[in-house]
Chain A
Amino acid sequence: MYGRGLKPLSIASVAALVGAFALVFFYAPEDVDQGFIQKIFYLHVPLALVALGGFVTGGVYGVKHLRSGSREHDMKSYVAIHLSIILGVATLATGMIWAKASWGAWWVWDEPTLVAFLIVFLLYACYQPLRFAIEDPDRQMRYAAVFAVIAGAFVPICFMSVRFAQAALVHPRVLDQTGGGMPGSMFFTFLVALAGMTLLFVTLWKFELSSKSARMQLAALRRRLS
């Protein structure tokens, strides 16, 4: 059921990612202040944005599950959050590499975005332990959905609180580098990278959904035969 469109989607993802890669290395200009390492920005920011988007999507499907009780919605929510957690790890890792290169320290508290992201990540890291601590499957799905909703609402509040707590924004705002906006070439590369990451997420999401759904159908058939 979910396998439909998987092939063209995968091809599109690969194309976008390869394209982004090429653009990053051959087209986008080097940043004046930070040099070559700034290019990790094209990986780090899309990862962060897609991860956050995934968390919110998980929350949306959580709401849907609570209203409908359908197993599909729960699965979609679960896979979205689970993939976003993985992307979250990658975000933090690339963020730390960027921090080390830019400021010489593996972690800096000065920039609110990374800190807020860490807090959100810590919250979502509890999602799977929570699920596995509940035995009754129906209850597990319902409670996971409730968690997804609460955590989804938490994301913007967290970012807002942390941002207000830092007096000055020191997170390298590549976006304000040239007083107002990135040079067009950077922005274009960024967009392609973002598109590639989003496509990758959707592809992996569909892939995992179809694999899980197939496994469930197989189990149901086995039960019926026995």
Chain B
Amino acid sequence: MTRRYGERLALDGVTLSLPAGSTLAVLGANGAGKTTLLRILATLLRPHAGAARVLGAALPEEGWRVRGRIGLLAHDPLLYSELSARENLRFHARLHGVAAARIEALLEEVGLGARGDEPVRTLSRGLTQRVAICRAVLHAPEVLLLDEPYANLDPAAVAAVAPLIGRASGATRVVISHDVEGGLAEADLVLGLRGGRAEVLAPPASADLSGLYR
């Protein structure tokens, strides 16, 4: 896949395939193209050259087919700050056709049952992140695209969300992380990006990451 931004190549000929249920860790310095890759897989961007297939659908033409089965946790929590956690989740539930009961279950699981009716802007970063995670998994996606999922989370929270977005969830996952060790520990495959190019593509045991963060 290749994606340009004007004349700059954000992604330059990155090729990979990921079997269902496994985890891909995406590592690289800032600006290496990690977020671009994630957004393409989320059907938000289209590749300018090359192709992508997610859940059997060719992007971008057939992206609409599988959009409901992909969950994205982006840098932006994608929540309306004036609405409460419950209201935000209800909105997403309606858009995705998900039953309201699931919202309560998720909020309980991440420990936000009590503060679910306060406007999101009053919540701390960590709590907001938990709500964002709920939003990402609300529709029980088979593919999880996670950009720094554990940022701002205390250890208790990390444990609480693990069944939702960790290996235990069973979903096929693409995880961007700056925590190299943590990322490697959970991954079946590692993709190291540098300047838009795939420098490393290997299982964690044999991945040589020395050149990535120079």
Q: What is the chain A residue whose CB lies nearest that of B7?
A: A223
Report if B6 contacts A (CB, 8 A): yes
Q: How far is the CB of B51 from chain A (nearest CB, A)?
A: 16
User: CA A76 – CA B4 in complex, angstroms?
Assistant: 22
Residues of B within 8 A of A223 (CB): 7
- Contacts across chains A and B counted by CB atoms under 8 Å: 5
Main SS of the interface on chain A?
helix
Residues of B within 8 A of A137 (CB): 6
Residues of B within 8 A of A138 (CB): 4
**B residues with CB within 8 A of A:** 4-7
Q: What is the chain B residue whose CB lies nearest that of A223?
A: B7
Encode A186-215 as 1/0 by CB contact (under 8 A) with B: 000000000000000000000000000000
Residues of A within 8 A of B4 (CB): 138
* Complex contact A136–B6 (CB within 8 A): yes
Q: How far is the CB of A115 from chain B (nearest CB, A)?
A: 41
Interface size on A, residues (CB 8 A): 4
* Complex contact B7–A136 (CB within 8 A): no
User: CA A223 – CA B5 in complex, angstroms?
Assistant: 15
User: CA A223 – CA B4 in complex, angstroms?
Assistant: 14
Encode A119-140 as 1/0 by CB contact (under 8 A) with B: 0000000000000000011100
Residues of A within 8 A of B5 (CB): 136
Residues of A within 8 A of B7 (CB): 223
Residues of A within 8 A of B6 (CB): 136-137
Q: List 5 A-B contacts (CB under 8 A).
A: A136-B5, A136-B6, A137-B6, A138-B4, A223-B7
Closest 3 CB pairs of A and B: A137-B6, A223-B7, A136-B5
Q: What is the chain A residue whose CB lies nearest that of B5?
A: A136
User: CA A137 – CA B6 in complex, angstroms?
Assistant: 6
User: CA A138 – CA B3 in complex, angstroms?
Assistant: 11
User: CA A137 – CA B5 in complex, angstroms?
Assistant: 7
Q: How far is the CB of A203 from chain B (nearest CB, A)?
A: 31
User: CA A137 – CA B3 in complex, angstroms?
Assistant: 13
Q: How far is the CB of B85 from chain A (nearest CB, A)?
A: 32
Q: How far is the CB of B97 from chain A (nearest CB, A)?
A: 30
Q: How far is the CB of A217 from chain B (nearest CB, A)?
A: 13
User: CA A137 – CA B8 in complex, angstroms?
Assistant: 11
Q: How far is the CB of A144 from chain B (nearest CB, A)?
A: 15
User: CA A105 – CA B5 in complex, angstroms?
Assistant: 52
Q: How far is the CB of A141 from chain B (nearest CB, A)?
A: 11
Q: What is the chain A residue whose CB lies nearest that of B48?
A: A138
User: CA A223 – CA B8 in complex, angstroms?
Assistant: 10
Residues of B within 8 A of A136 (CB): 5-6
User: CA A225 – CA B4 in complex, angstroms?
Assistant: 18
User: CA A223 – CA B9 in complex, angstroms?
Assistant: 12
User: CA A158 – CA B213 in complex, angstroms?
Assistant: 59
User: CA A138 – CA B6 in complex, angstroms?
Assistant: 7
Q: How far is the CB of B202 from chain A (nearest CB, A)?
A: 31
**122-180 of chain A: CB within 8 A of chain B:** 136-138
Q: How far is the CB of B29 from chain A (nearest CB, A)?
A: 23
User: CA A7 – CA B5 in complex, angstroms?
Assistant: 37
